[in-house]
Amino acid sequence: MTLGRGLTGFAIVFVVLALLPTVREPLGIPVSYLVFLGLVWFWTAQATSWNILSGYSGYFSFGQGAFVAVGAYTTAVLFGRHGIDFFLTIPIAGLLSLLLALAIGALAFRLRSLRGEIFALLTLAVPFVLESIALINTAIDGGQGIIVPLPDYPDALGSFQDLIYRLFLAVGVGALAVAFAMQHSRLGWALFAIHDAEEVAEGLGVPTFRHKMFAIGLNGLIAGIGGSIFALQIGFVAVQSVFGLTVPLFVILMSVLGGRSHWLGPFLGALVIFTLQDRLSASGFEGWSLVILGSILATLVIAAPDGLHARLRRRPWPIVAAFMVPIAILWLLGVWGEPLDWVLAGMTVGAVVALAPAIRRRRIAPGPAAGIEPDSTVVSPLDLAADAPPRPADDMVKGPHGSDAPVAAGSEVIVAELAASLEAEPARPGPVIECIDVTKAFGGVRALQGVSFSVMPGEIVGLVGPNGSGKTTLVGILSGFLRPTTGDVRVGDVGVVGLAPHAIAHLGVARTYQIPRPFASMTVRDNVAMSLMFGRSGDSLEVARVAAAEHLEFVGLLHRAGARPSEINLHERQLLEMARALAQRPRVLLLDEALAGLNPVEIDNAVAVVRRIHQSGVAIVVVEHLLRVVNQLATRLVVLEGGRTLAEGDPGTVMRDPAVVRAYLGTAADA
Amino acid sequence: MTVQTILQAGIAGALTGGLYALMALGLSLTWGMLRVINLAHFALILLGAYLTFELATRAGIDPLLTVVVTAPVLFAVGGALQWAFDRFALTEFNSLLVTFGLLIVVVQLVSNYWSADFQRMSATVNPYATESLRLGAFAFPLPRLLAFLAAIVLVGGTHVWLERTYSGRALRAFAQDRSIAAAFGIDHVRLGALLGGVAGGTAAVAGMLVAVDRPLTPSSPFEWFGIVFAVVILGGIGNAVGTLLAGIAVGALAGIVSVAWSPSTAPLVIFSLIIVALLVRPRGIFVRGGA
């Protein structure tokens, strides 16, 4: 298993690197290098913990400094002032920082209107509020600063610098291991889905609030532990040293430079940026380092937002060569600087070679390539590079990926599985889903006025009506994205008003979107795997990626399994929507204009897919403009107009209803 | 603590609120109209303040008159910045990152040139700092009164500009739907640069008034962040008049809280206020139909 092997790898890396202080003197490595490496691990931990929230889920935080500060002040106050054992203060620091993170998350992520920008600004304000509290409160700081003395520890741990190095190493490698494990498990995938399209993720069963809380909690925990050790390292904690904007600038810059969509990215960024920072201050350019780092950030975001890791993955050898050659030359000449300067020279050349081609490409093709999508409804606050960043999708599960091995009799398997999962539930008379006297008002606009609607097992209900009649609003209410102003919604026996959409999805309600909303950074196969992991099957990552193929075959999309959503056409995206909904193993499927914009051949194909889904016994609601299609498919028709039910019954009767004809064709005078 | 003390604090706070509204005005307009969250706006205010300081102390110009120089300069800088954002087609979110980088660069450059210490114009150069207008039992500190008046004039001016003139209407059309506005022949690059320039000009005025009112330090922008963004969000993003009302309200509240409890609680109260505002009226308190 990838996960197990990987974590063993981290343990080995830790043990090997922890030996460095022991072999340092025989190898003739100066102690300053140990200090340097320790700080590299500190920044690795900070950038990686930041990336778990902000890189994976896309909720950018400027509040990293608050977590570091809480960690540092916890240790400074408890150990420096009150003499509590240093090693005991580390977990306390982590815990307090975790609590702060959860408090921020509980407030921010509850906001219905929260957008990425607002979250970023909220987190920007947190450190300043805490700073003013620390400055005023003499029990914390009071403007004096706190001295952190050397702690007592067993002699076996070596000198003070050895101890600091090993502590930082533990936090740094630990953070990387956590980020790695998340990327290789459902947790990380949920965050990637939130990053791509949060509402869709919630709709197919991802408890998004819980996952965001988990991510911000980890961010706070790791950052707080790092901050606690940092307090010991600097020896004197004052508000300027922990609260300033250096911390957020560093972690953002490191992650953006290294790459935000992979666990290794922040580590690469931390290596480069901290080496640069260290060399700048060693050469007396301290006053310029922030100028340089700030400029790098601004340039990177414009020119190469996908970062080093993606570039290294695409063409590693030229970049590695560009890194090694300057080091070799400088080492052989031996006329300038010390080894760290040579490394910095190599890193600079390597980074420029890695990132430069993108700059050139941008210049040739400006405009849409840079991607202005102000009104994109996808809740994805950060816009990664236009060329798709390599997501874990590419390297994780080796087996099924890429090879489109036909799955034996996939369609029948799915029908049988769906039927079995339906039979497994207690048979119950009455509708699978119903809404009773539902009203929905948006401000002064009444989109629905007293609509009652129910779907019996095995039915295909056609929901039709002119534009603005409330069809999509009704779908939103049934799937829990909208809360009815008055009235009740029941799935089976369960009243679902007020339940989160993911909980309603787990009760067996699946929906598709009028405009397909795939997870843009995942392959077609992984889009479906998301449903299998977070829908009612609750499969593990590896099982889900195999099973996804069956669902793709069912809708006839298996040949595009390895493609990105941006590479498939509208019809295929709509089939993907269906496959993804189907993979949730729903009891009722809400198809919101799944045929809009298709040509006649594609429509017939899609209708055939809907019929096959129906064979398995899943109840279906077809929201549609095309009456021909609805007439073919539906066993019952419901007509909405102006937010009210206009007519209901079997298709033939309803379509002859004078009121319906009027609603659709206008009155005789107009016709 | 008397009622009068609290009222006095409220008045002083409301006047300071005018200064915050002035800082928030450019930020709010470029965010609302151009979808750029321009953290570098704080850098422009800082530059404006230090330029006023420099011109007043070195060249002996009356600090209030320095805007004649600084406003055109920052108009040009603001316009050029906006043009560059357009040129690179920055998304709303990336603008936040890029301008964060720019802000850090400017703060460090200011610190390198003018040092990180507090700088204050001497009383001979800046006679306004200590003066105040007395009206009955209440005192109105002159620098803040000036800031308040400037806020009313500039907010009123931009409001009229946006509502009544062709370019203002075109900008509002662009804010509502970019592609439709473009289809109707609105040249958003030029209009954007114009609005960016206007924002830069307001930053110059705000910076001048900051320099007149209080000592300067390069890290000042970080003290303004919380309260200015509170004003922007509460006032409704892109809403000039709302910004002014929010500034006055937030300033008065901060003033009263500082006196009634302690100055350290003011940021907490304001921070809580933003959260409540976002919960209750996500599009701003001072917006019609903001719920």
Nearest by CB to residue B35, choosing from A107, A256, A374, is A374
Single-letter amino acid, residue A144:
Q
Chain A residues with CB under 8 Å of B275 CB are 107, 111, 122
Residue for token pair 């069956």: A550
pLDDT of residue A389: 39
pLDDT of residue A397: 39
Whether A527 shows a pLDDT value over 90: the answer reads yes
Nearest by CB to residue B278, choosing from A113, A137, A370, is A113
Q: How far is B62 from chain A (nearest CA, A)?
A: 32
d(CA A9, CA A17): 12
Residue A342 pLDDT level (bands cut at 50, 70, 90): confident
A385-436 confidence digits (pLDDT tens): 333 334 444 433 333 333 333 434 456 677 777 777 766 666 567 888 999 9
Which whole number is the average pLDDT over A349-372?
59
Residue B290 pLDDT level (bands cut at 50, 70, 90): very low
A44-65 confidence digits (pLDDT tens): 999 999 999 999 999 999 899 9
Paired tokens of A122: 């909220």
A545-568 confidence digits (pLDDT tens): 888 998 898 888 899 998 999 899
pLDDT of residue A375: 36
Nearest by CB to residue A128, choosing from B225, B233, B291, is B225
Interface contact B89-A372, CB threshold 8 A: yes
pLDDT of residue A369: 35
User: Which residues face A494 on adjacent strands?
Assistant: A491
Chain A residues with CB under 8 Å of B230 CB are 125
Cβ of A116 under 8 Å from any chain B Cβ?
A: yes
Please give the distance of CA A418 from its chain centroid, rounded to a whole number.
29
Paired tokens of A269: 């960024």
Is the separation of the CB atoms in A455 and A431 below 8 Å?
A: yes
Single-letter amino acid, residue A393:
A
In chain B, what is the straight-line distance between the N-terminal and C-terminal CA atoms, in Å?
Answer: 37
Interface contact B282-A113, CB threshold 8 A: yes
d(CA B106, CA B114): 12
Nearest by CB to residue A381, choosing from B93, B263, B291, is B93
Is the separation of the CB atoms in A440 and A447 below 8 Å?
A: yes
Nearest by CB to residue A295, choosing from B105, B111, B275, is B105
Interface contact A125-B271, CB threshold 8 A: yes
Single-letter amino acid, residue A423:
E
Region at B89 (left for phi over 0; alpha for psi -120 to 50; beta for the rest): left
Interface contact B96-A122, CB threshold 8 A: no
d(CA B156, CA A288): 41
Whether B30 shows a pLDDT value over 70: the answer reads yes
Query: Closest Cα to residue B147, out of B230, B51, B24, B28?
Result: B24
Task: Name which of B250, B265, B278 to mutate to probe chain A: the one with the most chain A Cβ atoms within 10 A of its Cβ.
Answer: B278
Interface contact B229-A249, CB threshold 8 A: no
Task: Name which of A57, A132, A288 to mutate to probe chain B: the one with the most chain B Cβ atoms within 10 A of its Cβ.
Answer: A132
Whether A378 shows a pLDDT value over 60: the answer reads no
Share of chain B above pLDDT 90, in %: 43
Single-letter amino acid, residue B287:
V
Chain A residues with CB under 8 Å of B226 CB are 124-125, 128-129
Name, in order, each residue with C-beta under 8 angstroms of A463's C-beta and a sequence gap of 6 or more: A453, A471, A474, A475, A621, A622, A623, A624, A638, A640
- The DSSP result for A299-313, as a single string, is HHHHH-TTHHHHHHH
Between B206 and A370, whose confidence is greater?
Answer: B206
Domains within chain B, CATH numbers bracketed: 3-120+128-280 (1.10.3470)
Q: How far is B186 from chain A (nearest CA, A)?
A: 17
Whether A373 shows a pLDDT value over 50: the answer reads no
Whether B288 shows a pLDDT value over 70: the answer reads no
pLDDT of residue B73: 96
Single-letter amino acid, residue A67:
F
Q: How far is B195 from chain A (nearest CA, A)?
A: 18
The per-residue pLDDT of chain A, averaged, comes to 84
Task: Name which of A64, A100, A104, A128 to mutate to probe chain B: the one with the most chain B Cβ atoms within 10 A of its Cβ.
Answer: A128
Name, in order, each residue with C-beta under 8 angstroms of A82's C-beta and a sequence gap of 6 or more: none
Domains within chain A, CATH numbers bracketed: 2-244 (1.10.3470), 410-665 (3.40.50.300)
Interface contact B37-A117, CB threshold 8 A: yes
Select the highest-mean-pLDDT range: A81-85, B78-82, B279-283: B78-82
Is the separation of the CB atoms in A171 and A41 below 8 Å?
A: yes
pLDDT of residue B57: 92
pLDDT of residue A505: 93
Chain B residues with CB under 8 Å of A441 CB are none
pLDDT of residue B69: 93
Residue B46 pLDDT level (bands cut at 50, 70, 90): very high
User: Which residues face A441 on adjacent strands?
Assistant: A446
pLDDT of residue A643: 86
Nearest by CB to residue B91, choosing from A110, A249, A383, is A383
d(CA A327, CA A657): 83
Residue A667 pLDDT level (bands cut at 50, 70, 90): low
d(CA A169, CA A158): 15
Whether A662 shows a pLDDT value over 90: the answer reads no
d(CA B138, CA B130): 15
Interface contact B275-A125, CB threshold 8 A: no
Residue B197 CA neighbour count, 13 Å, CB half:
13
Eight-class DSSP state of A155: G
- Searching chain A, which residue's CA lies closest to the CA of residue B289? A443
Name, in order, each residue with C-beta under 8 angstroms of A40's C-beta and a sequence gap of 6 or more: A172, A270, A271, A274, A275
Q: Which of residues 247-306 of A touch B (CB under 8 A)?
A: 249, 252-253, 256, 287-288, 290-291, 293-298, 301-302, 305
Share of chain A above pLDDT 90, in %: 37
Task: Name which of B42, B105, B219, B287 to mutate to probe chain A: the one with the most chain A Cβ atoms within 10 A of its Cβ.
Answer: B105
Select the highest-mean-pLDDT range: A98-102, A155-159, A440-444, B34-38: A98-102
Is the separation of the CB atoms in A440 and A473 below 8 Å?
A: yes
Between B47 and A142, whose confidence is greater?
Answer: B47
Nearest by CB to residue A297, choosing from B101, B111, B291, is B101
Nearest by CB to residue B222, choosing from A112, A128, A301, is A128
Single-letter amino acid, residue A107:
L
The per-residue pLDDT of chain B, averaged, comes to 87
Whether B17 shows a pLDDT value over 70: the answer reads yes
Residue for token pair 């050349």: A349
Give me the phi and psi of A554, to 5 degrees please: -60, -40
d(CA B265, CA B277): 18
What is the sign of the dihedral through the CA atoms of A47, A50, A52 and A55?
negative
Which whole number is the average pLDDT over A126-146?
83
Name, in order, each residue with C-beta under 8 angstroms of A1's C-beta and a sequence gap of 6 or more: A542
CA distance readout (Å), A426 to A417, A507, A535, A574: 16, 13, 19, 32
Listed in sequence order, the DSSP H helices in chain B are: 3-34, 40-58, 67-87, 92-114, 142-164, 166-176, 178-183, 188-213, 220-235, 240-260, 265-280
Region at B177 (left for phi over 0; alpha for psi -120 to 50; beta for the rest): beta
- Searching chain B, which residue's CA lies closest to the CA of residue A366? B88
Q: Name the helix (H) or strand (E) containing A486.
A: strand A486-491
Chain A residues with CB under 8 Å of B261 CB are none
d(CA A450, CA A447): 10
Paired tokens of A117: 């920008």
Chain A residues with CB under 8 Å of B112 CB are 287-288, 291
Q: Specify the 3-state DSSP secondary structure of B120.
A: coil
d(CA A387, CA A488): 45
CA triplet A228, A230, A232: central angle to 5 degrees?
A: 80
Whether A665 shows a pLDDT value over 80: the answer reads no
d(CA A89, CA A421): 51
Nearest by CB to residue A117, choosing from B88, B96, B103, is B96
Residue B123 CA neighbour count, 13 Å, CB half:
2
Whether A153 shows a pLDDT value over 50: the answer reads yes
Paired tokens of B102: 């720019």
State the CB neighbour count (10 A cutoff) for residue A404.
15
ipTM: 0.88
State the CB neighbour count (10 A cutoff) for residue A406.
10
Is the separation of the CB atoms in A51 and A195 below 8 Å?
A: no
Taken as a whole, chain B contains a residue count of 291
Q: Name the helix (H) or strand (E) containing A267.
A: helix A265-282
Single-letter amino acid, residue A400:
P
Q: How far is A222 from chain B (nearest CA, A)?
A: 23
Interface contact A443-B111, CB threshold 8 A: no
pLDDT of residue A367: 39
Query: Closest Cα to residue A581, out of A619, A543, A546?
Result: A619
Q: Please, is B184 exposed, middle or buried when counting C-beta atoms within 10 Å of its C-beta (0-12, 13-18, 19+)? A: exposed
CA triplet A442, A447, A453: central angle to 5 degrees?
A: 130
Q: Which of residues 215-244 of A touch B (CB under 8 A)?
A: 244
- The DSSP result for A216-243, as a single string, is HHHHHHHHHHHHHHHHHHHSEE-HHHHH
Whether A271 shows a pLDDT value over 60: the answer reads yes
Interface contact A294-B282, CB threshold 8 A: no
Name, in order, each residue with C-beta under 8 angstroms of A124's C-beta and a sequence gap of 6 or more: A62, A63, A248, B225, B226, B229
Interface contact B101-A294, CB threshold 8 A: yes
Q: Which of residues 468-507 of A touch B (CB under 8 A)?
A: none
Whether A347 shows a pLDDT value over 80: the answer reads yes
- Searching chain B, which residue's CA lies closest to the CA of residue A240? B219
Select the highest-mean-pLDDT range: A183-187, B23-27, B163-167: B23-27
Query: Closest Cα to residue B221, out of B129, B103, B77?
Result: B103
Give me the phi and psi of A332, to 5 degrees please: -65, -45
Query: Closest Cα to residue B268, out of A112, A131, A63?
Result: A131
Per DSSP bridges, beta strands B132-135 and A494-495 are: unpaired
Name, in order, each residue with C-beta under 8 angstroms of B174's C-beta and a sequence gap of 6 or more: B33, B34, B181, B182, B186, B188, B191, B192
Per DSSP bridges, beta strands A509-511 and A460-464 are: unpaired
Interface contact A374-B229, CB threshold 8 A: no
Count CB pairs under 8 A between chains A and B.
142
Is the separation of the CB atoms in B67 and B225 below 8 Å?
A: no
pLDDT of residue A632: 80
